[in-house]
A and B are shown apart, each in its own frame.
Chain A
């Protein structure tokens, strides 16, 4: 049973999600530690798929481990590393293990990672992968061959309202919704006007599509500069960077910025929750959740 689906479709609760840290070392003990840290605050947490084009313990394996430890996964599948057979195998594997939340993403390019010499696959693109998940939900593989029992995936996707062509992003969100996406995590961004326009446009046409904007907790202006310079698709306006850089207490200024972003996003139409990227800043995360009116274990 997907708690995420129930929360979004049957309640008005605000849904907080996060990203499960990648697993390279520490084994199951590390999985357990991460679960203990995240479970009190989040309804469901992303099990990533070779995030930022770096190899890690696989999406399916981490999703299963999270589930075993009592944290609901949103299993991501990206199109960069797997062809349509492998993508469907991930889906069927998730189904076998009772994993219902899956998120389909196009994925960063291989050039973003530490093995840029690898072959990029992109046999499917994001919207096609979403549609394939819908096909599996109807009880067959892409080929028409039967899959029994059929999955009951709660299908999620990601969109970037902040990247050009801005006007088209709303239509693209609707395309993903038509393909079967019911929840849309939005990428990190620092242009509130673009977010407002996007949410208003989506909510006006497909109000049932749950929007989950992302907010990242940082401790200084350095990561803001990094994102602006090095992460394609993220631009941080100079006045935002300056506001943090020129403050006598950078950590506090960065925190206030994040809190404002959260409050701004939560007030927008169509927004049903937030995705928090915390870079393991535990105290800041607790403070933020507290300031947003949350207490631990509200979803259990």
Chain B
């Protein structure tokens, strides 16, 4: 496998027609690189949840995929509005998703807990109104 590999994806706010594309490309790339399929599955789930959160809850942002030796990093950053209470946001079932979003099947309040479960290391940092940064590390 190549020693280092980096890709960046922009994620638009409320752009539901391309939402999920970044995660799909990440999954495809890791498959091509021969990463173990159970690790790919965890990364696909975590990056999908991160991508949807940027699309649904933020003003837009980006996702970085970085493969460095035996670790894969998925890092996200968005342009606001940030999360008031991160501990609350990390709680299973807690969501601020509105009616329209819930009708589409989002808003179970499971996205952030899913990410944390899937990643070997999970870090979240958020500031109102600047934005939210998430760093997830997966050991290959």
A and B associate: no
Residues of A near any B CB (own CB < 8 A): none
Residues of B near any A CB (own CB < 8 A): none
